[in-house]
Amino acid sequence: MNERQRFVSAITYQQPDRVPFTPGYGRKSTLEAWRKQGLPSEVEDYHGHVRQLLGIPPEDCARARVDPGVDFRMIPQYEEKVLEHRPSARAGVPGVLVVQDWKGNICEISDEFDVTYLRNAVDFVTRSWVRCPVETRKDWPEMARRYNLNDPARFPADFELRCRQLKQRDYVSGLIFSGPFWQLREWLGFEGLCLLLLDDPDFAMEMIAFWRQFVGRMLDRILQHYVPDFVCINEDMAYKAKPMISPEMARRFLLPSWRQWGEQCRAAGVPVYEVDSDGYVGSLIPVWIDAGFNLNSPMEVAAGNDLPAYSRQFGRSMAYRGGVDKRRMALGGQAIRDEIRRLQPAIAAGGYIPGCDHGIPHDVSWPCFVEYCRELAKATGWL
């Protein structure tokens, strides 16, 4: 099997030759630590390097990877800039930057970082929000105009050529974009969104309908030319012990969007419809199954998610990826062996691609990462 066949087979409860080997990814601080602990400085592809160290064959993709290049984000984006720098009065203590990010948020971050850290998941950055771009109805038209479906930058000029090339792929290719909860949280902020759902649900529904229609029209255009292997909805909506809104509110406000997009994906032949949310998701999984999702990630263990129990409870209605406790990875040795053993029933049941339950933090040393990869490779049939 090639990478693409193996992924789809594993998620859809078929019989892959091996379970995909996807240990997870480190952030900038993680890679900096690893280079001091044994990862050669010249190595950029550390997954490939680990495969070589363990004697695992390299990725079996003969074709160059092509990205469809579509953009669901706002166009134009806001200017990224520093508005204020407040140095610390104490030596060795970081100061504070007040910045505007590309989404229009005004927030405070440590001056250990810069505003570009808020564009992508470069590292683990804590921020405090000062102002969000949509705080009243008067702010909404300015935001809505940034989602013009016909903006020339929304699709690359060679989109159809890329799609023809993608039809011949032997690697996994998919679409990732924000769900309604995630997207409105970016516009209003978390507190602003939760209050709006209670105080002005009609306005919340108006923005959710706008996002549902925008994404739906994007999918219509894309799926005419390109059928991805997965469509992933980013929808972080849970704390450590509970979801951020109740399952009943999720059904009321979010289910129609999830369901519509899922129907579009299934009609086009997309085999995997994924929802990604940190935190405790046990009470949300039944809602997601009703919405048509068949894959959930990343299954954070520290939030109380018990993946083997979910596997037994929901059967083949849901598949999973992630689920390996990064805290056990940091301990290494018997701790990581016990962790992989804990997940073995779910691996054996199928519908599960194990990997780190979030980004790999810097307290996971390079030797522990290699050890974890060895145990993971054994459990997934690569060693």
Report the SS3 class of residue 297: strand
Q: What confidence score (pLDDT) does residue 95 get? A: 95
Tokens for 286, please give them.
């039944």
Q: What confidence score (pLDDT) does residue 314 get? A: 97
β-strand partners of 176: 232
Q: What confidence score (pLDDT) does residue 59 get? A: 81
Q: What confidence score (pLDDT) does residue 58 get? A: 87
Q: Tell me the one-letter amino acid at 339.
A: E
Tokens for 128, please give them.
């405090």
Report the SS3 class of residue 248: helix
Q: What confidence score (pLDDT) does residue 63 get? A: 84
d(CA 212, CA 304): 31
d(CA 11, CA 15): 10
Q: 133-138: long-range contacts at Cβ-Cβ below 8 A with a sequence spacing of 24 or more?
A: 133/78, 133/103, 133/104, 133/105, 133/187, 134/187, 134/188, 134/192, 134/207, 135/188, 135/192, 137/203
Q: With beta carbons less than 8 A apart as the criterion, state whether 208 and 254 touch.
A: yes
Q: What confidence score (pLDDT) does residue 171 get? A: 96
Q: How many residues does the chain have?
A: 383
Tens-place pLDDT, residues 262-298: 999 999 999 999 999 999 999 999 999 999 999 999 9
Identify the structural domains of the chain with CATH numbers, from first to last. Answer: 3-74+140-379 (3.20.20.210), 79-132 (no CATH)
What residue ranges of the chain have pLDDT lower than 70?
none
Tokens for 50, please give them.
């680990």
Q: Tell me the one-letter amino acid at 120.
A: N
